């Protein structure tokens, strides 16, 4: 079982990584970006499945598998309005016309890369991720046997089109959480 102190340490690490990720994404999109992970909790495996099954009706999900020494899955969810705003932002900023789902996959790739890169750098963890894929059915993800869930949010604040928000869900395996806690303990020694 994870103690409240360990949850706090993980929350702090994730938020530092998210800050690094937000900075990278901000440079790329040339707008303010906030990436926050206010909620880190342990939930029953079935609850994770139920949340995703319910939410796949409202959101477009993209996911990547986390690989190497830090394993699990990371997902990002976009509402239909957010998708339209992103397409419009890219068109107005860069003059690039793009199909919505291809753009969402690329933005997901940037979000995952910046966040995972920040986590790897800060905690000295060897991690990579697979190219993002659209999640059609929650059963496509096989990592639900581990029930540690990190919930977050990415907020893009461009000068045009208003705020764009996407939800992030990270589900690392128990071994990955143990590795992260061990790395944090060593960093603090």
Q: Do the Cβ atoms of 67 and 59 come closer than 8 Å?
A: no
C-alpha span between 76 and 73 (Å, rounded): 10
Whether residue 188 is contained in a domain is answered as: no
Whether residue 187 is contained in a domain is answered as: no
Residue among 85, 81, 135, 125 at smallest CA distance from 105: 135
pLDDT higher than 60, residue 5: yes
User: The domain spanning residue 108 has which CATH number?
Assistant: 3.40.1550.10
pLDDT higher than 80, residue 54: no
Geometric angle at alpha carbon 119, from 51 and 54, rounded to 5°: 10
Domain membership of residue 173 as a residue range: 4-182
pLDDT tens digits for range 64-97: 999 999 988 888 888 878 878 877 777 777 777 6
Whether residue 101 is contained in a domain is answered as: yes
pLDDT tens digits for range 112-147: 887 888 788 878 889 999 999 998 877 666 555 555
pLDDT tens digits for range 142-177: 555 555 677 777 777 766 567 778 888 888 888 888
**Residue 18: which residues within 8 A CB-CB, separation 6 or more?**
35, 36, 37, 115, 118, 152
**Residue 80: which residues within 8 A CB-CB, separation 6 or more?**
60
Whether residue 112 is contained in a domain is answered as: yes
Whether residue 189 is contained in a domain is answered as: no
CB neighbourhood size of 151 (10 A): 16
Number of structural domains in the chain? 1
**pTM metric for this prediction:** 0.80
- pLDDT for 3: 77
pLDDT category, 107, cuts 50, 70, 90? confident
């Amino acid at each position: 079982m994870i103690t409240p102190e360990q949850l706090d340490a993980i929350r702090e690490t994730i938020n530092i990584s998210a800050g690094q990720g937000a900075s990278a994404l901000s440079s790329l999109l040339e707008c303010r970006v906030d990436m926050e992970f206010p909620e880190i909790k342990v939930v029953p495996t079935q609850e994770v499945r139920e949340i995703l099954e319910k939410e796949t009706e409202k959101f477009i999900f993209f996911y990547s598998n986390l690989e190497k020494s830090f394993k699990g899955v990371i997902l990002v969810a976009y509402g239909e309005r957010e998708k339209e705003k992103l397409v419009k932002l890219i068109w107005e900023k860069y003059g690039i016309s793009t199909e919505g789902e291809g753009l969402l996959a690329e933005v997901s790739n940037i979000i995952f890369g910046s966040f995972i890169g920040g986590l790897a750098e800060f905690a000295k963890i060897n991690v990579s991720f697979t190219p993002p894929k659209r999640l059609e059915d929650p059963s496509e993800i096989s990592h639900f046997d581990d029930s540690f869930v990190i919930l977050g949010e990415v907020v893009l604040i461009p000068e045009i089109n208003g705020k764009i928000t996407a939800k992030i869900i990270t589900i690392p395996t128990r071994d990955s959480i143990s590795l992260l806690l061990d790395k944090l303990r060593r960093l603090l020694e």
